């Protein structure tokens, strides 16, 4: 049990007579925000004062007099308007440490098990993974590991996009443009090339069609602006109106220039322009390939069956680099057989109705419909998602479903969850674990200089390469194999940590130097703190197993030992708080703080040189504990903790 929980339990009886909502009051007991106020503080007196009809300090005093904390804390202090400050007794802390020492869960008690499905990563198999898949994969995997450790039954499911328009493009590309030799040698690279090619040609034709329309609209927009300026009117309103018009103008200009770029890209290449001329209706044609696939066309199905394993292999390569494993990889195609029935069921329950030829569910309060069938009869990802919900509940008995997906899709999930509840899954807990965008240095979505999305695999390789350079500079004495292992841990760990330590809802700037920095709030810093602890064991030739077998007694002799131990005792709270909000960043905070305190301890509490055998042993135990805490914490984030670096 965590220290905080213990303290709260002690306060419970003393608060019983004061408020109807004891838990709320207990929630106002928290770690002290400043060490000078002690270790913990209770803030409930102020809010209870009015109901009690007494000044807050009197309320605080009354509770302080009643609560039984003599063994745990120094005498309580009432401070300021009515804060109760608590300082733990050294003897109690030393004693509490023993329960950590003998526990490989570091004091974390398993939570009541629930059945989770966590849906993350979800790339499109037709195209290589890019930086946009980083956050879902990394955050999802961290939550996956954390939930399992906490005692839940978790099914991780990679809901890959293997059935959409992109596949039609690949099939079309394969039928018309494949280079058999290249396909033989590197099938996935060739398929990716085909996808890019067809996509580019489709873009070209669509742009050709769009560009004149955009030009007209742009001219109209300019006219509108001029008219508005000429008309004048209320200055404030005019300003607003002009601003809006200008914004639209900018957007139009951007769309036009992007269309022109797409046209240019084809026109400047003779080979490309020839292909473009040769396949004027490539857009419809590749859509048709998709439709044929969905309709069960034998040839397209055969191609799909041939491509899929190769595409999955390619994804697997990235997941191996990331250290991610899924229990299930049930993509969109898997749910194809169930889609018609989903729509049927929604219709029969009166939830879906016809609207402009499409079948839609309308949720009041939302303008946008939840479209489950298009007017051409095709199903949408809404349909697939509903089929997925039903399948998971029926097959896995899922009680809670987590979707680790970009925050821009929040509206979709809002509609999905509400529709699913009405459809009969109101007992299931749904969470859209949303996250922001990875930005480049310019504050815009992270792109290459050429404007393309950044490939995920090359990003990971670059991280490891950069890390290897740093490792080699900092510790040339390591042998090559170890250096490579450390580079993997530092490089991949650095990318993951940088992502996880931000509040997931925020956008963040991707910055190599920051994420691989050796000091500051980085994976490297935390890993290094751990490696130093291992260094002590190595140097002192300490066998950790026999350390664990000896007397488990911590004696606190200075402030850095105390601060470190107190921190280690909060692991359970940190993990539970992170899980309650599905925020790995709360766990990274714990790790950084632990590493900080471990390093401070390392700085001013000599271990091997300590002459007093009891103190030396106690410090070794603290080293062992910190190292275990960091290793465990990092592992829950999917980050390696090398013993030497």
Partner RNA sequence: GUCCCCGUAGCUCAGAUGGAUAGAGCGACGGUUUCCUAAACCGUAGGUCACAGGUUCGAAUCCUGUCGGGGAUACCA
- Residues between 118 and 137 with contacts to RNA, criterion CB under 7 A: 124
CB of 278 or CB of 558, closer to RNA: 558
Select from 607, 629, 634, 641 the one that contacts RNA (CB under 7 A).
607
Report the distance separating Cα 79 and Cα 501, nearest Å. 34
Q: Which two tokens stand for residue 222?
A: 């300019």
Report the distance separating Cα 529 and Cα 116, nearest Å. 34
Q: Tokens 């809404």 appear where?
A: 382
DSSP code at position 424? I
Q: Which two tokens stand for residue 416?
A: 């999905």
Report the distance separating Cα 130 and Cα 457, nearest Å. 8
Part in contact with RNA (CB under 7 A); list of ranges 76-84, 109-117, 140-148, 299-307? 76-84
Report the distance separating Cα 206 and Cα 208, nearest Å. 5
622 interacts with RNA by CB under 7 A? no
249 interacts with RNA by CB under 7 A? no
371 interacts with RNA by CB under 7 A? yes
Select from 399, 474, 557, 635 the one that contacts RNA (CB under 7 A).
474
Select from 61, 200, 475, 635 the one that contacts RNA (CB under 7 A).
475
Select from 156, 221, 384, 570 the one that contacts RNA (CB under 7 A).
384
Q: Are strands 40-42 and 29-31 parallel, antiparallel or unpaired?
A: antiparallel
Q: Which two tokens stand for residue 262?
A: 């797409």
* Nearest-approach distance from CB 268 to RNA, in angstroms: 27
Select from 153, 457, 462, 507 the one that contacts RNA (CB under 7 A).
507
Q: Which two tokens stand for residue 254?
A: 């951007």
- Give just the sign of the alpha carbon dihedral 576, 578, 581, 586: positive
Part in contact with RNA (CB under 7 A); list of ranges 12-20, 134-142, 307-315, 379-387? 379-387
326 interacts with RNA by CB under 7 A? no
Q: Which long-range contacts (CB under 8 A, 24 or more apart) does 224-229 make?
A: 225/249
- Give just the sign of the alpha carbon dihedral 455, 457, 458, 464: positive
209 interacts with RNA by CB under 7 A? no
240 interacts with RNA by CB under 7 A? yes
408 interacts with RNA by CB under 7 A? yes
* Nearest-approach distance from CB 269 to RNA, in angstroms: 26
* Number of residues engaging RNA in binding (CB under 7 A): 104
213 interacts with RNA by CB under 7 A? no
Taking alpha carbons only, the member of 254, 415, 283 closest to residue 346 is: 415
Select from 1, 35, 68, 80 the one that contacts RNA (CB under 7 A).
80
Residues 555-594 that bind RNA (CB under 7 A): 577, 581, 583, 585, 589, 592
284 interacts with RNA by CB under 7 A? no
* Nearest-approach distance from CB 548 to RNA, in angstroms: 19
* Nearest-approach distance from CB 230 to RNA, in angstroms: 21
Q: Which residues pair with residue 432 across a beta bridge?
A: 403
List of residues 6+ apart from 311 with CB closer than 8 A:
125, 126, 162, 188, 191
Residues 514-533 that bind RNA (CB under 7 A): 514, 517-521, 524-525, 528, 531-532
Select from 12, 227, 244, 267 the one that contacts RNA (CB under 7 A).
244
300 interacts with RNA by CB under 7 A? no
- Give just the sign of the alpha carbon dihedral 180, 181, 182, 183: positive
* Nearest-approach distance from CB 15 to RNA, in angstroms: 14
Q: What is the dihedral of CA 436, 437, 439, 443, to 10 degrees?
A: -70
Residues 33-52 that bind RNA (CB under 7 A): 33-34, 37, 41, 43, 46-47, 50
Report the distance separating Cα 108 and Cα 633, nearest Å. 12
Select from 17, 603, 612, 614 the one that contacts RNA (CB under 7 A).
603
Report the distance separating Cα 471 and Cα 480, nearest Å. 10
Q: Tokens 């950069």 appear where?
A: 466
Select from 336, 380, 484, 635 the one that contacts RNA (CB under 7 A).
380
């Amino acid at each position: 049990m965590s220290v905080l929980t213990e303290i709260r339990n002690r306060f419970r009886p003393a608060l019983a007579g004061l408020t109807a909502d004891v838990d709320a009051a207990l929630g106002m007991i928290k770690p002290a925000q400043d060490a000078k106020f002690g270790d913990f503080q209770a803030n409930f007196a102020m809010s209870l004062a009015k109901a009690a009809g007494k000044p807050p300090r009197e309320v605080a005093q009354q509770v302080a007099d009643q609560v039984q904390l003599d063994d745990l804390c120094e005498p309580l202090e009432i401070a300021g308007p009515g804060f109760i400050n608590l300082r733990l007794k050294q003897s109690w802390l030393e004693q509490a440490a023993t329960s950590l020492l003998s526990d490989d869960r570091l004091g974390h008690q398993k939570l009541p098990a629930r059945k989770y499905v966590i849906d993350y990563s979800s790339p499109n198999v037709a195209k290589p993974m890019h930086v946009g898949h980083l956050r879902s994969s990394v955050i999802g995997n961290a939550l996956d590991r954390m939930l399992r450790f906490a005692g839940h039954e978790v099914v991780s499911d990679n809901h890959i996009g293997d059935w959409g328009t992109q596949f039609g493009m690949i099939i079309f590309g394969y039928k018309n443009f494949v280079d058999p030799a290249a396909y033989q040698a590197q099938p996935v690279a060739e398929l990716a090339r085909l996808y890019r090619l067809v996509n580019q040609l489709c873009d070209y034709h669509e742009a050709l069609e769009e560009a004149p329309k955009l030009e007209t609209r742009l001219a109209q927009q300019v006219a509108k602006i001029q008219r508005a300026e000429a008309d004048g009117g209320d200055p404030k309103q005019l300003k607003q109106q002009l601003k809006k018009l200008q914004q639209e103008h900018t957007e139009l200009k951007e769309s036009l220039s992007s269309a022109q770029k797409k046209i240019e890209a084809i026109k400047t290449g003779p080979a490309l322009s020839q292909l473009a001329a040769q396949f004027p209706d490539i857009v419809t044609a590749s859509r048709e390939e998709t439709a044929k696939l969905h309709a069960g066309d034998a040839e397209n199905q055969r191609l799909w069956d041939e491509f899929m394993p190769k595409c999955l292999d390619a994804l697997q390569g990235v997941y191996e680099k990331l250290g991610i494993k899924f229990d299930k990889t049930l993509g969109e195609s898997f749910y194809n057989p169930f889609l018609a029935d989903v729509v049927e069921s929604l219709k029969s329950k009166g939830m879906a109705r016809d609207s402009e030829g499409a079948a839609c569910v309308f949720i009041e309060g939302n303008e946008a419909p939840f479209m489950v069938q298009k007017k051409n009869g095709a199903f949408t990802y809404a349909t697939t998602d509903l089929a997925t919900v039903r399948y998971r509940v029926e097959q896995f008995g899922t009680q809670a479903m987590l979707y680790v997906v970009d925050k821009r899709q929040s509206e979709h999930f809002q509609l999905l969850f509400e529709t699913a509840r009405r459809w009969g899954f109101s007992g299931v807990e749904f969470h859209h674990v949303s996250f922001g965008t990875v930005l480049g240095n310019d504050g815009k979505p992270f792109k290459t200089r050429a404007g393309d999305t950044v490939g995920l695999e090359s990003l990971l390789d670059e991280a490891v390469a950069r890390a290897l350079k740093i490792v080699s500079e900092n510790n040339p004495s390591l042998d090559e194999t170890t250096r490579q292992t450390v580079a993997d841990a530092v490089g991949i760990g650095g990318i993951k940590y940088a992502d996880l330590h931000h509040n997931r809802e925020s956008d963040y700037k991707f910055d190599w130097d920051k994420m691989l920095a050796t000091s500051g709030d980085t994976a490297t810093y935390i890993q290094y703190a751990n490696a130093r602890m291992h260094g002590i064991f190595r140097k002192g030739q300490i066998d950790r197993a026999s350390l664990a077998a000896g007397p488990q007694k911590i004696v606190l002799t200075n402030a850095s030992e105390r601060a470190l131990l107190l921190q280690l005792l909060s692991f359970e709270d940190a993990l539970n708080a992170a899980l309650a909000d599905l925020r790995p960043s709360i766990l990274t905070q714990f790790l950084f703080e632990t590493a900080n305190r471990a390093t401070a301890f390392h700085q001013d509490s000599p271990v091997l040189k300590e002459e007093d055998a009891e103190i030396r042993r106690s410090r070794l135990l603290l080293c062992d504990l910190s190292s275990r805490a960091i290793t465990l914490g990092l592992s829950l984030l999917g980050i390696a903790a090398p013993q030497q670096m």
